[in-house]
Structure 1
Amino acid sequence: MKNLISVVGPTGIGKTKLAIDLAKHFNTEIVSCDSRQFFKEMKIGTASPSEEELAEATHHFIGNLSVEDYYSIGQYEEDALQKLNELFKNYNTVILVGGSMMYEKAIIEGLNDLPEADAENQEKLQKLLEQEGIEKLQKIVKDLDPEYAEVVDIHNHRRLLRAIDVIWQTNKKYSEQIAVSQDSRDFNVIRIGIEAPREELYDRINRRVDIMMEKGLLDEVKGLEKFKGLTALNTVGYSELFKYFDGEWDLDFAVSEIKKNSRRYAKRQLTWYRRADDIHYLQLGYSQQDFENLILWIDDQFQK
């Protein structure tokens, strides 16, 4: 069985270093699932691995696109799985790293081709919820999809709304649709996270923004001004500085907004990862001994 070690965690926590440490230990290569680091013109503002870091281990999907390229998460899933299949011919273990939650999910589970929310259905269900309570939604799910009713958090109205909406749109059970791609992965996944006290994480994020500015983020963004309408540039570190160039904000305020928005993004990532029960955590600033213990733990998880 082949093994994929996925290194996850919020922005600024040190995933690149851990991924490189693991790649060197297992003498393997790294696949990035950081959707902002795909773009070669955005090295500084996305904290892409440095030349030195890239030289320490072979990385894939770093700086492989231009901001002018259209690239979807579905396309990434296809490309990254193809790359993993190639890598697994030479290696038993490959490292995945990045904080783009949905991109990691696309690799380890697969994207479910579920329809977007239907506004009419949502409205109808919202009314039912308000008038007849969550019990009504629970009953509908139990009637339409008893299997899903067994596993869903029955008190989470958003999950119930989503399931009913999808069932109404597709005339198929929700449980069947979300199970489709789960079993199409023929590799074992081990998820490793890095954690730190929130204050410490926020300090790191603030410092990292200052370092980006010292490294020339302002010039990088200035050079991309003509592309500011593109989706790739509608992101933290770029949209704030475009406002500075437009004369809307002064520079100090723009930089403080980058810090604030980066911390907000980290908070969303923490919430996402906290919901998972399969992440093995390492503390920020781990020692050599901690790393060796992690390797022992990983060896135990491997499905030989």
Structure 2
Amino acid sequence: MGPTASGKTDLAIELCDKLGCEIISVDSALIYKGMDIGTAKPSIEEQQKAPHQLIDILDPAQSYSVAEFRRDALEAMDKITSRGNIPLLVGGTMMYYKALIDGLSPLPESDRNVRAKLEKQAKEQGWRALHAWLKDLDPQSAARIHPNDPQRLIRALEVYLLTNRTMTDLLGIKTLPIPYDIKQFCIAPSDRKVLHQRIASRFNMMMTSGFREEVEKLRARGDLHLDLPSVRCVGYRQMWQHLDGEFTVQEMQEKAIAATRQLAKRQLTWLRGWENIHSLDTFGKDNLNKVKTLGNIQP
């Protein structure tokens, strides 16, 4: 695990080479075909050294749920272990890790019609009226969700309307946890400023490698838009808005780098509260041996 631009891929490839691992990507952006530069997808050469599973599995017009990731990751892990190798999960989508390790609650998929009705009701009655309704139905969820948080408020009400059960009830039900002995590592620079420098440097490299042209090609398809999860990925959203004329090139770059820093901050916040995790420094000279020793891995 680790924040964006922390050196996860380089260490993962080394682990595959030395310790008999096979990589499963844990990244909600790398799943999309044709989105290579802006996602810092491992290069063809890197993938030849160490093939990555769960990369390039979806068209950008499609969506991919946490439940689908968990299903696909467990299937890949089963195949890897049956070959006598070690599944090595690599990426920074922390919600995917949590669902994989702890299991998922049986929450329903989102329903556009239900959400549209709730949004219409909110416009007519106000968000506080919807919050009061939620308080009657599910006091615990209402206590957690602020009246000015429409996304979470709608989701809690949507769950009730689709299942006739509260979100609190359903969150108490979990699928079985991961059926493996797991060792968890986080890699990051010890100095946050260094991480920021790496983020800026990587984005500038993306720009010189054809990131603008990549997004122009996606826009030219005509079926993609800013409301899709793929286009909302960090960097893509800002470039898309620049191509729409909302930002200058400089503004786009500044906003994209700032958004990437915010992503890294969120990832680090997740990791600070993570249990049973071993920390590695991006520039550590002995990371390979630390993983081997702490993970009790036999090559």
TM over 0.5: yes
Matching residue within 195, 212, 216 for 1:218: 212
1:285 aligns with 2:283: yes
Aligned residue in 2 for 1:241: 239
* Unmatched 5+ stretches in structure 2: 111-117, 119-126, 146-151
Matching residue within 6, 9, 15 for 2:8: 15
Aligned residue in 1 for 2:67: 74
Provide the rounded CA distance (Å) in 2 between the counterparts of 1:178 and 1:31.
Answer: 29
Write the letter of the residue equivalent to 2:68: Q
CA deviations over 1:235-291 (Å, ceiling 9, x no partner) = 21111111211222111110111000000111111111111122100011111x342
1:296 aligns with 2:293: yes
Write the letter of the residue equivalent to 1:71: Y
Q: What do you get for the CA RMSD once the two structures are aligned?
A: 3.2
Kept in 1, the 8 Å contact 2:32–2:55? The answer is yes
Return closer, same or farther for 1:173/1:39 CA change in 2, 3 Å cut-off.
closer
- Amino-acid identity (%): 32
Provide the rounded CA distance (Å) in 2 between the counterparts of 1:58 and 1:69.
Answer: 23
Counting matched residue pairs gives 262
Return closer, same or farther for 1:293/1:172 CA change in 2, 3 Å cut-off.
closer
Secondary structure in structure 1 of the residue aligned to 2:41:
coil
TM-score computed with the length of structure 1 as normaliser: 0.76
* Unmatched 5+ stretches in structure 1: 1-7, 128-139, 142-156
Write the letter of the residue equivalent to 1:200: V
Aligned residue in 1 for 2:41: 48
Provide the rounded CA distance (Å) in 2 between the counterparts of 1:41 and 1:77.
Answer: 23
Kept in 2, the 8 Å contact 1:19–1:30? The answer is yes
Aligned residue in 2 for 1:273: 271
Kept in 2, the 8 Å contact 1:23–1:94? The answer is no
Write the letter of the residue equivalent to 2:101: I
Provide the rounded CA distance (Å) in 2 between the counterparts of 1:111 and 1:43.
Answer: 29
Provide the rounded CA distance (Å) in 2 between the counterparts of 1:248 and 1:97.
Answer: 35
Provide the rounded CA distance (Å) in 2 between the counterparts of 1:213 and 1:107.
Answer: 34
Kindly state the Cα deviation for residue 75 of structure 1 after the two structures are TM-superposed: 1.7
TM-score computed with the length of structure 2 as normaliser: 0.77
Return closer, same or farther for 1:173/1:199 CA change in 2, 3 Å cut-off.
closer
User: 5 Å matches for 1:82-231?
Assistant: 82-114=75-107, 123=132, 158=144, 170=165, 178=172, 180-183=174-177, 185-196=178-189, 197-225=191-219, 226=222, 227-229=224-226, 230-231=228-229
After TM superposition, the structure 1 stretch with the greater mean CA deviation from structure 2, 219-228 or 32-41, is: 219-228
Provide the rounded CA distance (Å) in 1 between the counterparts of 2:99 and 2:263.
Answer: 20
Return closer, same or farther for 1:171/1:241 CA change in 2, 3 Å cut-off.
closer
Return closer, same or farther for 1:286/1:178 CA change in 2, 3 Å cut-off.
farther
Kept in 1, the 8 Å contact 2:11–2:288? The answer is no
Provide the rounded CA distance (Å) in 2 between the counterparts of 1:113 and 1:264.
Answer: 30
